[in-house]
Amino acid sequence: MSAHIAIIREKATDPEKLAALCPFGAIECHSDGTLEINSGCRMCRICVKNGGGAFELVEDDAEPPIDKSQWRGVAVVAELVEGRIHPVTFELLGKAGELAGKVGQPTICMLAGHNIKPLANELLSYGADEVVCYDAPELENFLIEPYTNALTDFINFRRPAVVLVGGTQSGRSLAPRAAARFRTGLTADCTFLDISPDTDLEQIRPAYGGNIMAHIGTPNRRPQFATVRYKIFPIPPKREPNGKVTMRTLAAAQLKSAVAILAATEKSRETGIEEADVLIAAGRGVKRPEDLSMLEKLAGLLNGRLASTRALVEAGWCNPKMQIGLSGRTVKPKLIITCGVSGAIQFAAGMNGSELIVAINSDPDAPIFKIADVAIVDDIYRIVPELIAKIETGAAAK
């Protein structure tokens, strides 16, 4: 349901005074004394509250309810990187299968690229009931116009109730364009997804700097779009392929792009904290930047990497590439040891999928202990040196 603010002309007896009510300058007073509300209106309703009856909030007629039965299935948009399927696609297929199973509907995957038939069979192995392929030379590289056209065609063809897209650079470009074409909602960087029997998608993500968990829904629109970062959900086990591959084609005009790739230079590869099996995460409990060397030593002894919270990055003590959290990197190591980390929502959302979480903090009420597998309530300046000494002693004994 939408709404607008109407002007009650017979009560607008002091137009200049009424025009001054709007802090955004959205009420215009014309030379003939008439008032008009322009496109700058923010619907703050200050004029309704203080206008002495000269303004009224009018709710427009509700749109007819959408026929949700015409939209079936949970779809995943597959992403390719150098001819290989990005792992976030497999993670999304696992979650899509879970959601689709709750409502008894299929899991569908859209794959666009060139010479991709073997990759389609791989997607079937990770839970897709159907893979809809768009295979053309123009789709070999990600270009936003043809890829958006392919996704639009896919949605019109299969009409899925839900569309999941990886929260990658290309996914964050593609999803909003497609959502705008269907005049529907998009929730970015979801950390939790669930579905109701009528296929309404419950989307949860941290908001306001990680201070709250926002529950977002799009009950009157279809499809429902959501993006999810890499390493938020687990990759499902491979299975015997049990589905079908459907080939689709686009018209030549839909494959055209205003952008042409003239050359590609491979960027030097570096291993980030996302790939590490062991992480030592530094938080506000670290008193001085030079004390990070103590944690780096522990990380080295465990063949791991040093990571940090946003506070240390903002202080200039750590490289932004070391930051864990929704405004940094999402990680899922086999072991993470947090040192002096309080465990704010944003940080926890970026690492709570870790296999083993060991938390060291002198505050017994630190939120990090709610998700930790091993909780050590003590000073990191006492525990970490002892831990280093024990590891070194054990290594020397061998």
Q: Where are the domains of the chain?
A: 3-59, 68-255, 273-393
Choose among 4, 60, 59, 62: nearest CA to 219: 62
Lowest mean pLDDT among 254-258, 266-270, 303-307, 315-319: 266-270
pLDDT above 70: percentage of residues in the chain? 97
Question: Taking the model in full, what pTM does it have?
Answer: 0.77
The answer on pLDDT for 286 being more than 80 is yes
| Predicted local confidence at residue 397, as pLDDT | 55
pLDDT digits (tens, 9 = 90+) for 332-390: 999 999 999 999 888 988 898 899 999 999 999 999 999 999 999 999 999 999 999 99
DSSP 8-state code for residue 297? H
pLDDT digits (tens, 9 = 90+) for 136-153: 999 999 999 999 999 999
- State phi, psi for 74 to the nearest 5 degrees: -115, 120
Tell me the HSE value of 46 on the side-chain side, using a 13 A CA sphere: 14
Residue 336 three-state SS: strand
Is 34 or 102 the better-scoring residue by pLDDT?
102
| Predicted local confidence at residue 244, as pLDDT | 95
Compute the distance between CA of residue 228 and CA of residue 193 in angstroms, rounded to an integer.
9
Strand-pair partners of 131: 109, 245
- State phi, psi for 156 to the nearest 5 degrees: -65, -30
| Predicted local confidence at residue 61, as pLDDT | 62
| Predicted local confidence at residue 3, as pLDDT | 79
| Predicted local confidence at residue 19, as pLDDT | 92
The answer on pLDDT for 393 being more than 90 is no
Choose among 346, 347, 352: nearest CA to 332: 352
Q: Tell me what the pLDDT averaged over the chain comes to.
A: 92
- State phi, psi for 55 to the nearest 5 degrees: -130, 145
| Predicted local confidence at residue 128, as pLDDT | 96
Q: How confident is the model at residue 56 (pLDDT cuts 50, 70, 90)?
A: very high
3-59 CATH choice from 3.30.70.20, 3.90.1150.10, 3.40.50.300, 3.30.70.260:
3.30.70.20
**Average pLDDT for 22-44:** 89
pLDDT digits (tens, 9 = 90+) for 86-118: 999 999 999 999 999 999 999 999 999 999 988
68-255 CATH choice from 3.50.50.60, 3.40.50.620, 3.40.50.720, 3.40.50.10470:
3.40.50.620
Is 197 or 398 the better-scoring residue by pLDDT?
197
Lowest mean pLDDT among 176-190, 209-223, 293-307: 209-223
Element (H, E) at 50: helix 46-50
- Angle at Cα 263 formed by Cα 260 and Cα 267, nearest 5°? 120
Residue 132 three-state SS: strand
CATH number of 273-393: 3.40.50.1220
**Average pLDDT for 147-167:** 97
Compute the distance between CA of residue 257 and CA of residue 395 in angstroms, rounded to an integer.
59
- Structure tokens that stand for 202 in this block: 């419950």
- Structure tokens that stand for 374 in this block: 């091993």
Identical fold, 68-255 and 273-393: yes
pLDDT digits (tens, 9 = 90+) for 325-334: 888 888 999 9
Is 161 or 346 the better-scoring residue by pLDDT?
161
Choose among 42, 35, 125, 25: nearest CA to 78: 125
pLDDT digits (tens, 9 = 90+) for 241-265: 889 999 999 999 999 998 888 888 8
Q: How confident is the model at residue 307 (pLDDT cuts 50, 70, 90)?
A: very high
Contact between 90 and 235 (Cβ < 8 Å): yes
